Structure 1
Amino acid sequence: MVRPISNDLRKRAVSAVAKGESCRSVAERFGVAVSSVVKWSQRYRATGSVTPGKMGGHRKPVLDPHRAFIVERITERPHLTLHGLKAELAARGVKVSHNAVWLFLRREGLRFKKNTVRPRTGSRRRLS
């Protein structure tokens, strides 16, 4: 992600626009995009500041409050599919995507296998 342009440059550009210079000439003089000068001017008029807004951040997972329910459902019905679990969550009013359920299970380390006790099937070698 690109760093925001310094507040000093933003202030100089906004003050030049406030003095009557056009956004295009200010953008050309400071070497920035015209849209940036326009947005900085709009932000200054609205808030009185040219500081940039917050960039990025961390989103709290939607399924964290429902962890107990998910664990209970998987232990009760180990053959439950991801789509089935998604449907049960939707019945409780939690609208999530198939991928969100999968990522939650993977992040929490919850296994979602039907037959964890049985050995894998495959071709056996003949010992001759």
Structure 2
Amino acid sequence: MGHCYSLDLRMRVAAFVEAGHSCRTAARHFGVSDSCAIKLMQRQRRFGSPAPARQGRPPGGGKLVPYETFLIQAVEAHPAITMPELAARLLDENGIIAAPAMLSRFLCQRGFSYKKIPDGGGVRTRRHSG
């Protein structure tokens, strides 16, 4: 597993190489691997900075986002709908396969909560802001 080197070290390695030293000499001088120094310089040449790229999945995506209106309307029309029923309805009407847990997380992110009722079922309601 690779190391996540600080921006300060990355900048010093890049400056050392730009001062006329080789990447391998810079690697030995700063105690990093040869490939690390070489890749830092490739990144410096390509992007103008040796700063690391953002890690992780880009925000705002997901396969349910285009169906947000459909899902919210379905839950508001039938608050007692279960997630497996909602998943089946999404598949039937839109051809999208979604796990019940994924639907639940999606709705919770949109402000819905699950309220249990005495008969053993439950109802999804929208949280009030305020």
What is the TM-score with the length of structure 2 in the denominator? 0.56
Partner of 1:37: 37
Matching residue's letter, 1:8? M
Identical-residue share of aligned pairs (%)? 24
Is the 2:23–2:34 Cα contact (8 Å) retained in structure 1?
no
Query: For the residues of structure 1 that align with 2:43 and 2:112, how far apart are their CA atoms?
Result: 45
* CA RMSD between the two structures: 3.5
Matching residue's letter, 2:11? D
Q: Name the one with the larger strand percent.
A: 2
Residue 104 in 1 paired to residue 113 in 2? no
Query: For the residues of structure 2 that align with 1:59 and 1:96, how far apart are their CA atoms?
Result: 19
Partner of 2:13: 10
Structure 2 gaps, min length 5: 121-130
Larger radius of gyration: 1
Structure 1 gaps, min length 5: 121-128
What pairs up with 1:1-128 in 2 under 5 angstroms?
4-6=6-8, 7-15=10-18, 19=20, 21=22, 23=24, 25-55=25-55, 59-60=59-60, 62=62, 63-78=64-79, 80-90=81-91, 91-92=93-94, 94=96, 96-107=98-109, 108-111=111-114, 116=117, 118-119=118-119
Distance 1:84 1:61, change over 3 A: farther
Cα distance, 1:56 vs structure 2: 5.5
Is the 2:17–2:23 Cα contact (8 Å) retained in structure 1?
no
What is the TM-score with the length of structure 1 in the denominator? 0.57
